[in-house]
Amino acid sequence: MGLALLADAAYQLPLFHDVYPGNRNDVTECATIAEEMAQRLRTLRDECEGITLIMDKGQISTDNLATLGRCDNVHFISALVPSNHPELLAVPLRR
């Protein structure tokens, strides 16, 4: 089972959710709900000020980030896919 959840940080109130089967690919599933979530963000806040989306690396794609980033001032926190960042992998662990 997978869960997409949008919650208010100050009051921890759920503002949007989508439950989906766990056997679906995350990046594909995120694409199907990204526009719904972006619409909810636009409905709730005129300029989406102070929105930070925290996502698993499996949900990251150029299209998904573009869809969710249509609101101004939306920030993202995500795990990184190691193969996409060879310069970070080259840094010695002692550093």
Predicted model pTM: 0.59
Q: How far apart are CA 27 and CA 58, in angstroms?
A: 6
Write the pLDDT tens digit of every residue in 11-70. Answer: 888 888 888 888 877 777 777 777 787 778 777 766 556 677 777 777 777 787 777 777
DSSP 37-74: HHHHHHHH-SS-TTEEEEE-GGG--HHHHHHHTTSTTE
